[in-house]
């Protein structure tokens, strides 16, 4: 997804290297790749790579900064993810709205950061003040603190949903769809379909029009492209050939 290239996940002061790897994996499953670490207690190690599984590329490309201010210096929107509400009043969004906002601003060309705090203590008030918006996952109020990588997963999923909602063009990864087949290509297919239904004795004495009308409606609704119509016609040609062979055998 194109917008994803302008969205970074920032982990501040992470205490468990394993969580860094799990966060990288969470990101990659959702098509995100920009991981930024701010003063991690321990640099990514073997445990991080083990938990990253196939996302070691995301982990290896992670940049490391001394301070949060440095990590987000070029960002136009900074979303601070927090497990609890604070004294400092920031605009607060739930993950779905945060995803929509981040993706739409990234699509407009802005750099965006989603910031996650330390496992034990979250973000400091000074770090939190650098954020423009607070994001809170509405968890069980009596037990609202998610594992760091799981919080990253929830937000990454919402970013992906928001990007997909904008359309496959901006999601970028979907196979590009060819334009639908032309009218003439569709009529060529329908005429071969009608012939084939005769050859395989599909109608069994009934008038062919009603079945053909329904089949036309079905295939027109599907809007196959030229390549798909060619495959369908290949199937029909084989069906006709098999019917002919069976006819010769029975004769
Ligand atoms: N005890 C810490 C919890 C930290 S959990 C505290 O009270 O802040 C590590 C990080 O995961 C948090 O800093 C936050 O960025 C993210 N996180 C965990 N649970 C979350 C939730 N319910 N909503 C948003 N982010 C959450």
If asked whether residues 125 and 104 sit together in one domain, one would say yes
Rounded to 5 degrees, φ, ψ at 136 are -125, 125
- Tell me the CA–centroid distance for residue 63 and ligand 1, in Å: 22
Residue of the CA atom closest to atom 11 of ligand 1: 148
Q: In the chain, which residues have pLDDT < 50?
A: 170-175
Same domain flag for 108 and 130: yes
> Domain with 148 in it: what CATH number?
3.40.1280.10
Q: List the strands of the sheet with 77-81, edge to edge.
A: 63-65, 34-38, 7-12, 112-116, 77-81, 133-135, 91-93
Domain boundary among 175, 195, 215: 175
* pLDDT number for residue 166: 82
Check residue 210 and give its pLDDT.
Answer: 87
Question: 201-248, pLDDT tens digit by residue?
Answer: 999 989 888 888 888 888 888 888 889 999 999 999 999 999 999 989
Mark which of 119, 151, 175 sits at the end of a domain: 175
In this structure, are 169 and 191 located in the same domain?
A: no
pLDDT of 108: 92
Query: Which of 175, 203, 224 represents a domain boundary (last residue)?
Result: 175
DSSP bridge pairs for 63: 36
Interhelix angle 148-166/95-107, rounded to 10 degrees, is: 50
How close is the Cα of 5 to the center of ligand 1, in Å?
Answer: 24
Answer yes or no: do 243 and 138 share one domain: no
Beta strands in 27-95 (DSSP E): 34-38, 63-65, 77-81, 91-93
| Full residue range of the structural domain in which residue 16 is found | 3-175
Q: How much is the pLDDT for 173?
A: 43
Consecutive H or E run containing 167: none
Q: What residue's CA is closest to ligand 1, atom 5?
A: 119
CA of 23 to the centre of ligand 1 (A): 13
């Amino acid at each position: 997804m194109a917008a994803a290239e302008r969205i970074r996940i920032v982990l501040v002061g992470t205490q468990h290297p394993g969580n860094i790897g799990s966060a990288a994996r969470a990101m990659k499953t959702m098509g995100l790749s920009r991981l930024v670490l701010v003063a991690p207690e321990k640099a990514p190690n073997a445990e991080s790579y083990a938990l990253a599984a196939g996302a070691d590329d995301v982990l290896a490309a992670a940049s490391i900064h001394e301070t949060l201010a440095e990590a987000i210096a070029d960002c136009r929107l900074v979303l601070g993810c927090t497990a609890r509400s604070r004294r400092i009043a920031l605009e607060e969004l739930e993950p779905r709205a945060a995803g929509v906002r981040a993706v739409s601003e990234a699509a407009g060309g802005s750099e965006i950061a989603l910031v996650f705090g330390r496992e034990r203590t979250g973000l400091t008030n000074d770090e939190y003040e650098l954020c423009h918006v607070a994001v809170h996952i509405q968890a069980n109020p009596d037990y609202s603190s998610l594992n760091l990588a799981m919080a990253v997963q929830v937000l990454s999923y919402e970013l992906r949903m928001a990007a997909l909602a904008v359309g496959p063009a901006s999601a970028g990864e979907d196979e590009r769809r060819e334009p639908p087949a032309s009218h003439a290509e569709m009529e060529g297919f329908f005429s071969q379909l009608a012939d084939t239904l005769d050859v395989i004795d599909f109608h069994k004495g009934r008038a062919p029009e009603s079945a053909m009308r329904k089949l036309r409606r079905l295939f027109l609704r599907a809007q196959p492209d030229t390549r798909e119509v060619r495959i369908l016609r290949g199937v029909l040609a084989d069906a006709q050939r098999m019917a002919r062979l069976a006819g010769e055998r029975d004769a």
